[in-house]
Amino acid sequence: MTRRHWMSAVALTLGFMVPAAAEPILVQVPAVLDPQAPISDAVRAECAVDMLLGNFVYDRVKAKFPESASVQKSTGTEKEKVLNVTILSVQAAGGGAWSGRKSIAVRADLLQSGKVIATTVKERSSGGGAFGGSMGTCAILQRVTAALGADVAGWLSRTLVVGSEPAEDQAPASTKAD
Residues 60-88: pLDDT tens digits? 999 988 988 888 876 555 678 899 999 99
Q: Is 6's pLDDT higher than 90?
A: no
Residues 156-178: pLDDT tens digits? 999 887 544 444 554 444 455 54
Q: Please check whether residue 168 is in contact with residue 158, taking contact to mean a CB–CB distance below 8 angstroms.
A: no
Q: Give the domains, in start order, of the chain with CATH numbers.
A: 22-173 (3.40.50)
Between the two ends of the chain, the Cα-to-Cα distance in Å is 43
Residues 104-143: pLDDT tens digits? 999 999 988 888 989 999 998 886 555 545 577 888 889 9
What count of other Cβ atoms lies within 10 Å of the Cβ of residue 78? 7
What single-letter DSSP state applies at residue 116?
E
Q: How far is CA 49 from CA 31, 146, 158, in A?
A: 8, 11, 25
Q: Is 7's pLDDT higher than 70?
A: no
Task: Give the containing element (helix H, strand E) for 159.
Answer: helix 137-160
Cα dihedral 47, 48, 53, 56 sign: negative
Q: Is 94's pLDDT higher than 90?
A: no
Q: What is the pTM of this model?
A: 0.74
Q: What percent of the chain has pLDDT over 90?
A: 29
User: How many CA atoms lie less than 13 Å away from 92 in the CB half-sphere?
Assistant: 36
Average pLDDT, the chain: 76
